[in-house]
């Protein structure tokens, strides 16, 4: 190779590296930028009601009361409940598609259906929840003797669960497929059944990846707006049971932002946005720590 071509290659290498670093920096700047904007915009509200925001459950903009606690509770409750409901389904799908049905047309149909589930607009889920799921829940509530709203925390969680299944299922399927064949063979050669191999070799090996899928699902559930807004009942009171009406941070923003008047009102809504940002970041950081601890390759 001549000296000139070597120089040329080196230049390309440097250009490539700086492009990569630039993309990294841009992402970082964007995230920090969003955070700072939210912080500055919510400053008036933070100054005006200090820690009342976290300790008060009354959100009544007309009388100037801005307590955000019920939205925080609503968000965490619906998201974790949705995750809990979705886990058995997404895990089973991941095991079936990752280990048992890895090829063939049934697998292809299933896989496509799961991926399609992730592509359905959330407003469609909201409509389905409102017109199909809510009446079912209402019947259930009548049977149980609780106030039959139909909509509420449970309905929102069920819709969310359905929406987040594809994320954990797809990632779970991938990591289960990546479990080395030689480990499965070792297990089978010791006289283990297929089920024992899945439970004691494959799942322990893949658990950090599977958990990453759950984390992805949880993140989606925390920030989902449209579908939740449609079926949660939009009550600003603190939910007392899973049948209560409620509101999440995202749904209150969607509902009230366009109608908000007065700088404190808008600023308080942005404070909710800031809180949502912080909560999702914290949960994602905790999740990452857990995943790292579980990882087989340390």
Partner 1 sequence: MTESVLRLDHFNFFIGENQILNDINLKFQRKKVTAIMGPSGCGKTSMIRCINRMNEWVKNARVEGEILFYGKNLFQMDPILLRRKIGMVFQRPNPFPTMSIFENVIAGYLLNGIKLSKTDKERIVEDSLRKAALWDEVKDGIHRKGTFLSGGQQQRLCIARALAMNPRLLLLDEPTSALDPKATSHIEELIIELKKTVTIVLVTHNIAQASRVSDFTAFLYLGELVEYGETTKMFTVPEDKRTEEYLTGKFG
182 touches partner 1 (CB under 8 A): yes
Instruction: Work out how close the CB of 111 gets to partner 1 at its nearest, in angstroms, rounded to a whole number.
Output: 19
Query: What percent of the residues of the chain are helix, what percent strand, and what percent coil, each to the nearest 5?
Result: 80, 0, 20
> Quick check: helix, strand or coil at residue 65?
strand
Phi (first) and psi of residue 166, to 5 degrees: -60, -35
- The residue within the footprint of partner 1, chosen from 26, 29, 124, 186 (CB under 8 A), is 186
Instruction: Please answer whether residues 132 and 150 qualify as being in contact, where contact means their C-beta atoms are separated by less than 8 angstroms.
Output: no
Rule CB under 8 A: is residue 188 a binding residue for partner 1?
A: yes
Classify residue 150 by burial, with Cβ atoms within 10 Å: 0-12, 13-18, 19+: buried
178 binds partner 1 (CB under 8 A): no
Minimal CA–CA distance to 202: which of 187, 223, 217, 221? 187
108 part of the interface to partner 1, by CB under 8 A: no
Q: Which residue in the set 78, 86, 90, 197 belongs to the binding site for partner 1 (CB under 8 A)?
A: 197
Q: Is 297 in the site for partner 1 (CB under 8 A)?
A: yes
Q: What is the SS3 assignment for 66?
A: strand
CA distance 156 to 128: 11
Q: For residue 157, which of 222, 113, 236, 212 has the smallest C-alpha distance?
A: 222
Question: How far does CA 220 lie from the centroid of its chain?
Answer: 2
Sole window of 24-32, 199-207, 257-265, 270-278 interacting with partner 1 (rule: CB under 8 A): 199-207
CB of 197 to partner 1, least distance (A): 7
Among 5, 191, 258, 261, binds partner 1 (CB under 8 A): 191
Q: Is 189 in the site for partner 1 (CB under 8 A)?
A: yes
Distance, CA of 40 to CA of 48 (rounded, Å): 14
Q: Which is nearer to partner 1, 200 or 293 (CB)?
A: 200
Residue holding tokens 């007309």?
A: 62
Contact flag: residue 296 with partner 1 (CB under 8 A): yes
Tell the smallest beta-carbon distance from residue 296 to partner 1 (Å). Answer: 5
User: Which segment (25-33, 67-75, 87-95, 176-184) binds partner 1 by CB under 8 A?
Assistant: 176-184
Closest CA to 159 of 134, 135, 138: 134
Judged by CB, which is closer to partner 1: 100, or 131? 100
Element spanning 59, H or E: strand 59-60
**DSSP state for residue 257 in the 8-state scheme:** G
| 125 contributes a contact to partner 1 by CB under 8 A | no
For partner 1, give the closer residue by CB, 172 or 233.
Answer: 172
Minimum distance of partner 1 from residue 293's CB (angstroms): 13
How many residues at the interface with partner 1, by CB under 8 A?
A: 20
Does residue 272 contact residue 251 with C-beta atoms inside 8 Å? no
Residue 137's Cα: distance from chain center in Å? 23
- The verdict on 193 binding partner 1 (CB under 8 A) reads yes
Smaller CB separation from partner 1, 64 or 204:
204
Is 201 one of the binding residues for partner 1 (CB under 8 A)? yes
Query: Does 33 help bind partner 1 (rule: CB under 8 A)?
Result: no
Binding site for partner 1 (CB under 8 A): 180, 182-183, 185-193, 196-197, 200-201, 204-205, 296-297
């Amino acid at each position: 190779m001549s000296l000139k071509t070597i120089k040329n290659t080196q230049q390309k290498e440097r250009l490539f590296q700086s492009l990569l670093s630039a993309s990294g920096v841009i992402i970082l700047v964007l995230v920090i930028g969003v955070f700072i904007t939210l912080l500055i915009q919510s400053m008036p509200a933070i100054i005006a009601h200090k820690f009342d925001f976290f300790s008060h459950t009354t959100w009544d903009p007309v009388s100037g009361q801005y307590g955000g606690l019920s939205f925080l509770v609503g968000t965490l409750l619906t998201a974790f409940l949705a995750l809990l409901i979705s886990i058995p389904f997404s895990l089973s799908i991941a095991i079936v598609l990752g280990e048992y049905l890895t090829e063939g047309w049934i697998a292809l149909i299933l896989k496509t259906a799961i991926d399609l589930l992730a592509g359905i607009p959330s407003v469609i889920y909201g409509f389905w929840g409102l017109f199909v799921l809510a009446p079912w829940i209402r019947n259930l509530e009548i049977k149980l003797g609780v106030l039959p709203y139909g909509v509420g925390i449970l309905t929102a969680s069920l819709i969310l669960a359905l929406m987040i299944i594809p994320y954990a299922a797809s990632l779970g399927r991938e990591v289960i497929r990546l479990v080395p064949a030689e480990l499965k063979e070792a297990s089978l050669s010791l006289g283990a059944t297929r089920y024992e191999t899945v439970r004691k070799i494959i799942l322990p090996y893949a658990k950090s990846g599977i958990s990453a899928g759950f984390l992805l699902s949880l993140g989606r559930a925390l920030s989902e707006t449209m579908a939740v807004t449609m079926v949660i009942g939009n009550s600003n009171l603190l939910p007392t049971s899973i049948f209560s009406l409620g509101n999440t941070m995202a749904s209150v923003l969607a509902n009230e932002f366009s109608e908000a008047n007065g700088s404190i009102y808008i600023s308080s809504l942005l404070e909710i946005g800031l809180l949502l940002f912080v909560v999702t970041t914290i949960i994602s950081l905790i999740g990452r720590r857990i995943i790292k601890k579980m990882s087989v390759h340390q």
